[in-house]
Chains A and B, each alone.
Chain A
Amino acid sequence: AQTVTQSQPEMSVQEAETVTLSCTYDTSESNYYLFWYKQPPSRQMILVIRQEAYKQQNATENRFSVNFQKAAKSFSLKISDSQLGDTAMYFCAFMKHQGGSEKLVFGKGTKLTVNP
Chain B
Amino acid sequence: QSALTQSPSVSGSPGQSVTISCTGTSSDFRDSSRVSWYQQSPGTAPKLIIYEVRDRPSGVPDRFSGSKSGNTASLTISGLQAEDEAAYFCSSYARSSSTVVFGGGTTLTVL
- To the question of whether A and B form a pair in one complex, the answer is no
Interface residues of A (CB under 8 A from B): none
Please list the residues of chain B having a beta carbon within 8 angstroms of any beta carbon in chain A. Answer: none
